[in-house]
Amino acid sequence: MKKEIEKERLSLLASVEKLLEGPITFLGFVWLILIIVEFIWGLTPVLDFASVTIWVIFILDFLVKFIIAPHKLLFLKKNILTIISLVVPAIRLFRLLRVFRVIRGVRVIKIVGSLNRSMKSLASTMKRRGFAYVVLLSAAVIFGGAAGMFGIEKDNPGFETYGLALWWTAMRVITAGSDFWPVTAEGRGLAFILSLYGYAVFGYVTATLATFFIGRDAEERDAPVAGSAEIAELKDKIEEISKLLSEDSRK
């Protein structure tokens, strides 16, 4: 009986997630854009209201799924970053940010949480379709991370404008060096996260591009790399030789 109830709740949870997938995915992208705008220029009252409204919708979405989920603790463990991204805006909403300024990582947590939300939105949209998913996710990380670096380090050389912060972040993600480095604890923490992401995806991107170009070369008959057609032809010849040798040994 208990297992049947769990199955029904899991089925209901899957149905709810599928139903809300489209709207939540769209709002996830919008929220990331608003976070970037907030870090760079600040939000107007209208945009601030839109941001708060989206935040409330995310909370309601999370609560509905939490109530339906049969395994509450497991659900919470899987959504730790989502929980953090929903809690941090409350600090600003209730004007407690001054009290929490001692927590140096608040802005880092906010940008990482919003990127995590966007990552889930991209995963839902692209269904993790390989290279395209990684490229779009990297673009979101670069633009979002640059907004965070600009908001945190804008008083330091190399981060005075969003363009410079964007350039620096792009160099970090592709694992290239830079003449400028963050000086605050928040900036260094965010830079470390960006570097981890860059090293994580760099090998995948390199391997994908190498496979693409090798495949293009292999399609040419005079290419130094053997293509699938040549390999198949060679395999057939080997099989013919094996048959001839087998016939000779029987004689």
Q: What is the CATH number of the domain that holds 22?
A: 1.20.120.350
Helix, strand, coil percentages in the chain from 3-state DSSP, rounded to 5: 80, 0, 20
Is the pLDDT confidence value at 184 over 70? yes
For residue 237, tell me if it sits in a domain.
no
Query: Distance between CA 226 and CA 216 in Å, rounded?
Result: 11
**pLDDT reported for residue 236:** 72
86 with 152, same domain? no
For residue 101, how far is the Cα from the chain centroid? 28
Mean pLDDT value of segment 65-80: 87
Count of the separate structural domains present in the chain? 2
Share the mean pLDDT of the chain: 75
Domain assignment present for 53: yes
Same domain, 110 and 178: no
- pLDDT greater than 50 at residue 100: no
Q: Are the beta carbons of 225 and 214 closer than 8 angstroms?
A: yes
Strand extents, DSSP E, 8-161: none
Residue 190 sits in the same domain as residue 110: no
CATH number of the domain at 142, please: 1.10.287.70
Is 142 found in the same domain as 122? no
Structural domain contains residue 242: no
Domain containing 60: what range?
1-127
User: Is the pLDDT score of 98 beyond 60?
Assistant: no
For the segment 202-233, what is each residue's pLDDT rounded down to a tens digit?
766 666 766 666 655 555 555 554 455 556 66
Tell me the mean pLDDT in the region 32-60: 86
What is the pTM (predicted TM-score) of this model? Answer: 0.64
Residue 247: pLDDT band (50, 70, 90) is: low
Whether residue 204 is found in the same domain as residue 158: yes
Kindly indicate the confidence band of residue 126, based on its pLDDT and cuts at 50, 70 and 90: low
Task: Flag the least confident range among 48-52, 102-106, 168-172, 193-197.
Answer: 102-106
Same domain, 169 and 76: no
Identity (one letter) of the amino acid at 114? S
Reported as type and span, the H/E element at residue 235 is helix 228-250
Residue 104 has pLDDT above 50, yes or no: no
Other beta carbons within 10 angstroms of residue 181's beta carbon come to 14
- Classify residue 239: in a domain, yes or no: no
Exposure string of 185-224, with b = 16+ CB inside 10 Å and e = fewer, is: ebbebbbebbeebbeebeeeeeeeeeeeeeeeebeeeeee
Q: Are residues 175 and 70 in the same domain?
A: no
Q: What is the spatial distance between Cα 185 and Cα 107, in angstroms, rounded to a whole number?
A: 11
pLDDT value of residue 101: 46
In a domain, 175, yes or no: yes
116 and 149 fall within a common domain:
no
137 lies in the same domain as 176:
yes
Residue 177 sits in the same domain as residue 66: no
pLDDT at position 63: 92
Q: Phi and psi dihedrals of 120, rounded to 5? A: -65, -35
